[in-house]
Chains A and B, each alone.
Chain A
Amino acid sequence: MAGVQLVKVTKNFGSVVAVDDFSLDIADKEFMVLLGPSGCGKSTVLRMIAGLEAPTSGEVFIGDQLMNGVAPKDRDVAMVFQSYALYPHKTVRANIEFPLKARGVDSKLRVAAVADAAAVLGLADLLDRKPGQLSGGQRQRVALARALVRDPQVFCMDEPLSNLDAKLRGETRSELVALHQRLGSTFVYVTHDQVEAMTMGSRIAVIVAGVLQQVGSPTDVYDRPANIFVATFLGTPPMNIFPAQLFEAGEHSVGVRPEHMRFVDSHSGGVEATIRLVEHLGHEVHVTGVLADGTVVVARHGGEEASPQSGDMVTVSAEARHRHRFDVSGRRLA
């Protein structure tokens, strides 16, 4: 097994800079999630690790070996695509077996390896079916088995859960985490879904417009966002951003997560807001209000608490320890 290192990697497509001066260390056996909005360059980073795109500049290492110019098949990297990229004319068995066959592995070893991979992913009964006869979740497992059967140093996964329904996505998330723990391999996982990132990653790398914004554990990134983008990208509903003057002195911005917004007595300080929308989600309630200057504020609280009604005037506040402070350029202060 091996870690992955990207050193000052840039990727241009014509005049478009897809990835800009990107450096990242992924440790051996780590589950690294590349998180960002659509078009931010996270898939391009993954494809450069896999060898499907060549960096315009910079270096990609797998283990200690420089991978620039090394063909994808020689990198010992397996990839699970968003569309799964299963060969529709081959059976599940032939799909899983293909990487071994293409590399000239002996047929006895192939049979054993396919059986092992199928057993790990619960595909033993589906081996003679074609991908078209499988559900989305089963196809996803076949794609994983095809990656698994090669026993690669690094697994690259490009939004592999995005075609699944919400329930199956939740189930497969935990299966992937369990698989990572079981294999002890390095996983590089691309997603735009913050829930996937928060629940699966050992660490998260947040990318915007081809630039790495922050790398850290899910807790770090959520609790100490490096800038306003990261602060508002992670969390549902996103962090509220206010001018500092509403709560304290200074020219900076103040961010407060919705779960830390409190409805307080009008005499105890805070900001007045008019409630516009109350969303009951069962286990929690999202309350959306508007301040006098038009700023939208969202509060989140447990479903058992009494909630204001739409049209009510309320006073909202946040304890100082829950306030995140960002300078005028959006970077975190302290």
Chain B
Amino acid sequence: MFRRRGDGLIASAMLAPAIAILSIFVVYPLGRAVWLGHLRCDATGRKCRTSGWMQYFDVLRSSDFQHALKVTFVYALLTVPAGLVIGVGLAVLADKQIRGIGFFRTIFSSTVATSVAVASLIWFVLLQPQVGLLPDMLSMFGVMKNPGLLNDAGTALPAIAITSIWANLGFTFIIVTAALQSIPAELFESAMMDGAGGWKRFTNVTIPMLSPTLLFVSVVLVTRAFQAYAEVDLLTKGGPNPERSTETVTYLIYGQTSLVKNDIGLKSTTAVLLFVILLVLSLVQFRSLERRVHYGN
């Protein structure tokens, strides 16, 4: 494999920093979490006893985990397709060469520089029944104003989803805009000459040419949806209770009102299960969508 013995040593030396960083910050924590996942611990995390590897299955079967997983799936379904459609739509609109479009590009991409905490705070104010703009607008269509979208079990999760869609819009917009600009203009011109109108050009040229980007963005958005924590913590703290209607899996692990917050063993079990579920989901996304993805030539 190596032409000289020295080559192997040089290669090992050059790889060593990366291996060391990966080992310390990825492999060890992951291995440690898997190990902790079969323990039950006290609040301090110092006194642990073995509960057996079946603990993974016990947590998986538990109603708390299944509820949180269901909430997380619904949250992903609310945020990912809508975020993708709005992001692509805005990017396509902003791709036109018209005067002043740079201003709109800046506005559309600005949320990428907004932290989840700031986004949550903005939307917390906007969604307040007393002072918020959105409940006022919704009340015009007969949607109730009190107790407020975040305090109603039926609307709390969609309300958080709006925050997440808004916060992720900048990311989707920037990535899709970059991808749009790399599509050769001749393809659109050719389609135009072939008689394709705007919609046909969009479905026959834009979407297929964007497909690798859309796959990437959808995987990232699904991952982000499954990792949603800060917005839940800041806006609803997993509530309204007792329905726990916004308690996502990540909130189940870390949340202040979480059922497992005092047991590092159970937290690890849940975290590892979330990791496995995300891994499987990503693989399914790649497998199912890759056939529709064109990587160019």
Contacts and interface: CB of A to CB of B under 8 A. Distances in A.
Contacts of A72: 189, 192-193
Contacts of B186: 81-83, 85
A163 to B, nearest CB: 12
Contact of A73 (B194, B211, B294): B194
A48 interface: no
B195 interface: yes
A87 B193 contact: no
Contact of B192 (A73, A88, A90): A73
Q: Interface size class for chain B? A: 20 to 34
A73 B197 CA distance: 9
B204 to A, nearest CB: 7
Contact of A87 (B189, B195, B204): B204
A146 B194 contact: yes
Looking at chain B's contact residues, the main secondary structure is helix
Contact of B204 (A50, A79, A81, A98): A98
Given A99-B195, A102-B196, A102-B200, A88 B189 contact: no
Contacts of B205: 87
Contacts of B191: 87, 98, 102
A102 B196 CA distance: 5
Given A73-B195, A146-B194, A85 B189 contact: yes
A51 B192 CA distance: 10
Contact of B184 (A52, A73, A83, A102): A83
A87 B196 contact: no
Contact of B195 (A81, A85, A90, A102): A102
B187 interface: yes
A105 to B, nearest CB: 10
Contact of B297 (A52, A81, A131): A131
B190 interface: yes
A212 interface: no
Given A87-B205, A89-B209, A81 B194 contact: no
B52 interface: no
A123 interface: no
A99 B201 CA distance: 12
Interface string A160-175: 0000000000000000
B195 A103 contact: yes
Contacts, number: 67
Nearest to B187: A85
A206 interface: no
B291 to A, nearest CB: 11
Given A102-B195, A146-B194, A132 B189 contact: no
Interface in A66-123: 71-73, 77-79, 81-83, 85, 87-90, 98-99, 102-103
A52 B294 contact: no
A150 B195 CA distance: 10
A51 B195 CA distance: 12
Contacts of A77: 193
A52 B189 contact: yes
B187 A79 contact: no
A103 B192 CA distance: 11
A88 B296 contact: yes
A122 B205 CA distance: 26
Contact of B190 (A71, A81, A103, A132): A81
B194 A89 contact: no
Interface string A131-161: 1100000000000001000100000000000
A102 B198 CA distance: 11
12 contacts: A52-B189, A71-B192, A72-B193, A81-B190, A83-B184, A85-B189, A88-B294, A98-B191, A99-B193, A103-B194, A130-B297, A146-B194
Given A73-B192, A85-B189, A102-B196, 8 more contacts: A73-B195, A83-B184, A85-B190, A87-B191, A88-B209, A90-B204, A103-B195, A150-B194
Closest 6 CB pairs of A and B: A132-B297, A89-B294, A99-B194, A85-B186, A85-B190, A102-B195
